Amino acid sequence: MTKADVESAKLAREEACAWLLHLRSDRPDETDSEAFRQWSDDNPAAANLLRDTWGTLRVAAAEIALEEQAKELASARAKPRTLRTGRRAFVGFALAAGVSWLAVRPPLGLWPSLADLASDYRTGTGEQRRVVLSERVAVEMNTQTSLELLKKQDMVHGVELLAGEAEFDAMAPGAGRTKPLMPVSVVAGSGRIGAGVARFNVRRTADAVCVTCLAGTVTLDHPDGRLTLQAGDQATYDDRSMRPVARINTDNVTAWRRGLLVFNNVPLSEVVDEINRYRPGKIIIRNAALGANRVQAQFPIARLDDAVNMLCRLYDGHITRLPGRIELMT
C-alpha cells in the first residue's frame, strides 16, 4: 500500500469510530441515516468493521443487563462481591468473543478499556473523585483514572494505578496508636511507590509513569534500581528504565486540583493529547508542522472547548468536525 492508501484507511477507521458513537449515543434522523448509507458505500471495509463491532456491543450489552438483574436479587451484603465477579466475567466474556481490538486498546481511546471497567474505582472523562481507602490513606482521582485494590487473603495491602492520574495522601496515624506504621504501597507499571507519611502524585499514560513527591519522602522501586524522592522531586520511568530525578515546580503538577491545565513550552500535539483526557470525543492533529508549535499557556478545565478554538486560530489551523465529537485539526 502507498502512504496515501495507509492514510486513507486510517481516516476511514477514525470515521467508523465516530459513526459508531454517533449512531449509538445520539438520536439519528433521516439525514443521518442517508449520510451513513453514503459513507458505507464509499468505505465498505470500514463499514463492515463497524457493523461487526456494533453486533458485539449488542451481545455485551445483553450480558451486562443480565448481570444487573442478578445484582438486584442479591442481598445487600453480597452486592460488592457480586458486582466484582460480574465485572470480571464481562471482561472474560468480551475477550472470548474476539473483541480484543475494542476491549484492550479502544480505537482513539474513545471509551474505557475492559480492564478499566473492571477496576475497583474509576473516573470518567472530565470527572474527578475523592476516595478514602483507610483511616490514613485518601486518594484524589483525576479524569480517566482507574485504581485496583491489591489484596492477599482478603486483606488490602496496596493499590495499583491502572491508568490516569491520582494524588495519594498518606496521613500520620491517630494519637495513641501502638502498632507499627505500615507503609502505603502504590503499583504503577513496573514500579512500586512506598511511603510512610507523605503526599505524592502518580500519573500513568500509555507506557510511561511519572511520580512526583509533594510532601514527605517516598521510595520508588523499579527493576532498574531504587530512588528516594523528597518534596519537589519527580521521577519518570517505563518498563525498561528510569530517568534521573528532576526538581520541578509542584504547582504545575497539582494544577488539575485547582481546575487548571498548565503548559510550559509544550508542543501543541502534547497539549491536545492532554485536553483529550478531559473532554468527550477526540481531537486529532493531522498536520505534523501544526502539532510541533510550542504552547505557553494555562486553561480552565471547565472551558476547554474555548481553549481548542483559541489554539486553532492562534496557529492558523482548521477544524473539521465529524460525528461523535471527532475533530480533525489541520
Q: Are residues 8 and 92 in the same domain?
A: yes
Q: Are residues 235 and 167 in the same domain?
A: yes
| 296: CATH | 3.55.50.30
Average pLDDT, the chain: 78
| pLDDT confidence of residue 60 | 47
More confident residue, 288 or 200: 200
Q: Are residues 248 and 137 in the same domain?
A: yes
Per-residue cell: 163: 491508568
Per-residue cell: 324: 461523535
From the CB of residue 214, how many other CB atoms can be counted at a distance below 10 Å? 19
Q: Are residues 129 and 242 in the same domain?
A: yes
Q: Which long-range contacts (CB under 8 A, 24 or more apart) does 301-310 make?
A: 301/126, 301/256, 301/259, 301/260, 301/261, 302/259, 304/261, 304/275, 304/278, 304/279, 305/279, 307/275, 308/272, 308/275, 308/283
Q: Are residues 198 and 129 in the same domain?
A: yes
Over the stretch 117-144, which tens digit does the pLDDT of each residue have?
556 899 988 999 999 988 888 999 999 9
Over the stretch 220-241, which tens digit does the pLDDT of each residue have?
999 999 999 999 999 999 999 9
Q: How far apart are CA 132 and CA 218, in angstroms?
A: 20
Over the stretch 242-298, which tens digit does the pLDDT of each residue have?
999 999 999 999 999 999 999 999 999 999 999 999 988 889 898 889 999 999 999
| pLDDT confidence of residue 82 | 39
pLDDT at 10 over 80: no
Q: Classify residue 199 as exposed, middle or buried by CB count within 10 Å of its CB (0-12, 13-18, 19+).
A: buried
Q: How far apart are CA 5 and CA 129, in angstroms?
A: 43
Q: Are residues 249 and 264 in the same domain?
A: no
| pLDDT confidence of residue 184 | 87
Q: Are residues 137 and 188 in the same domain?
A: yes
Domain end position, chosen among 255, 289, 321: 255
| pLDDT confidence of residue 152 | 72
pLDDT > 90 in the chain, percent: 41
Domain end position, chosen among 255, 286, 302: 255
| pLDDT confidence of residue 129 | 94
Q: How far apart are CA 165 and CA 188, in angstroms?
A: 10
Q: How confident is the model at residue 1 (pLDDT cuts 50, 70, 90)?
A: low
| pLDDT confidence of residue 97 | 47
Q: Classify residue 150 as exposed, middle or buried by CB count within 10 Å of its CB (0-12, 13-18, 19+).
A: middle
Domain end position, chosen among 221, 255, 289: 255
- Our CA angle for 190, 192, 198, nearest 5°, is 145
Q: Are residues 31 and 78 in the same domain?
A: yes
Write out the residue range of the structural domain in which residue 266 sits. Answer: 259-329
Q: Are residues 110 and 36 in the same domain?
A: yes
Q: Are residues 102 and 186 in the same domain?
A: no
| pLDDT confidence of residue 268 | 94
Q: Are residues 240 and 281 in the same domain?
A: no
Q: How far apart are CA 254 and CA 211, in angstroms?
A: 12
Q: Are residues 168 and 288 in the same domain?
A: no
Taking residues 194-212, report their average pLDDT.
Answer: 93
E strand spans, the chain: 121-122, 129-134, 137-141, 146-152, 155-170, 184-188, 191-205, 208-222, 225-230, 233-237, 246-247, 260-267, 282-285, 294-300, 319-322, 326-329
Over the stretch 62-72, which tens digit does the pLDDT of each residue have?
444 455 455 54
| pLDDT confidence of residue 23 | 58
Please tell me the total count of domains within the chain. Answer: 3
